[in-house]
């Protein structure tokens, strides 16, 4: 199906993009992304005014219980359609990303819906996300951290039996002398604030929207510390 958005002015085009992202309309988002590019908007501008702005609304409504996981996954999938067009262009233009995150579901656990949701919403907030998938052991986390030098490590678990492995990873970071170099966030249905503290994590992300807020606050404070030095 061909979509024609040429009759919308640019402000309305971005508002339509936010609405269609909210409704999880991937094909429309792809068409709008191409339309905005044809009008000479930079990839960064389209990302900020269309995709990120739309995902912020989705994140707020998810946090407030207006939207639920299936709707958010549809929105994230629609955003992915736009990102597939923009990502190579953003790389070419050297667009600034607010930070970098390595994320994965810990060893023994193969659940990834929540983790993928966090990854997509982090990407929507302007982070580069390296998603290691499921059943990730300490060595894989370590190798990814060494290769990508992320600001944040995110670990997810949905089983109470796999939760303790988060501590194994954090302890391994300590043994390798790089624990202080990375901000560790943990999450997943059975994970709690107290558990996060007990295993030595820096933060607990109750859900995807909260996780994005925590990550953005951390990266902002990190940036302020750097500029003050």
Quick one: pLDDT at residue 55?
87
| pTM exceeds 0.85 | no
Phi, psi at 136, each rounded to 5°: -95, 125
Stated as kind and residue range, the H or E segment containing 39 is: none
Helix (H/G/I), strand (E/B), else coil: 192: coil
**pLDDT tens per residue, range 168-200:** 999 999 999 999 999 999 999 899 999 999 999
Contact by Cβ (8 Å): 134, 120 = no
**pLDDT tens per residue, range 96-132:** 678 999 999 999 999 888 898 899 888 878 888 999 9
Q: What structural domains does the chain harbor?
A: 10-93 (1.10.1240.10), 99-228 (3.40.50.280)
**pLDDT tens per residue, range 14-24:** 999 999 999 99
Task: 129-135: list long-range contacts, CB under 8 Å, 24+ apart.
Answer: 129/100, 129/101, 129/103, 130/100, 130/101, 130/102, 130/103, 131/103, 131/104, 132/102, 132/103, 132/104, 133/104, 133/105, 134/104, 134/105, 134/109, 134/110, 135/105, 135/106, 135/107, 135/108, 135/109, 135/110
Band of the pLDDT at 1, cuts 50, 70, 90?
Answer: low
Q: What HEC string does 126-137 produce?
A: CEEEEECCCCEC
């Amino acid at each position: 199906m061909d979509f024609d958005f040429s009759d919308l002015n640019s402000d309305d085009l971005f508002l339509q993009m936010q609405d269609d992202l909210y409704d999880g309309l991937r094909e429309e988002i792809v068409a709008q992304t191409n339309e905005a590019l044809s009008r000479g908007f930079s990839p960064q501008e389209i990302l900020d005014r269309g995709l990120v702005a739309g995902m912020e609304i989705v994140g707020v409504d998810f946090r407030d219980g207006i939207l639920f996981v299936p709707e958010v996954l549809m929105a994230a999938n629609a955003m992915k359609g736009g990102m597939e067009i923009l990502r190579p262009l953003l790389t070419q233009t050297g667009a600034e990303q607010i930070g970098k995150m390595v994320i994965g579901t810990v060893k023994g656990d193969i659940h990834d819906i929540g983790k993928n949701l966090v990854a997509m919403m982090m990407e929507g907030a302007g982070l580069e996300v390296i998603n290691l998938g499921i059943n990730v052991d300490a060595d894989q986390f370590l190798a990814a951290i060494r290769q990508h030098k992320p600001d944040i490590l995110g670990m997810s678990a949905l089983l109470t039996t796999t939760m303790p492995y988060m501590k194994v990873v954090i302890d391994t970071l300590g043994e390798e002398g790089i624990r202080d170099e990375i901000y560790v966030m943990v999450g997943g249905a059975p994970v709690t604030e107290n558990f996060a503290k007990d295993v030595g994590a820096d933060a607990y992300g109750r859900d995807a929207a909260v996780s994005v807020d925590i990550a953005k606050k951390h990266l902002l404070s990190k940036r302020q510390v750097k500029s003050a030095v």
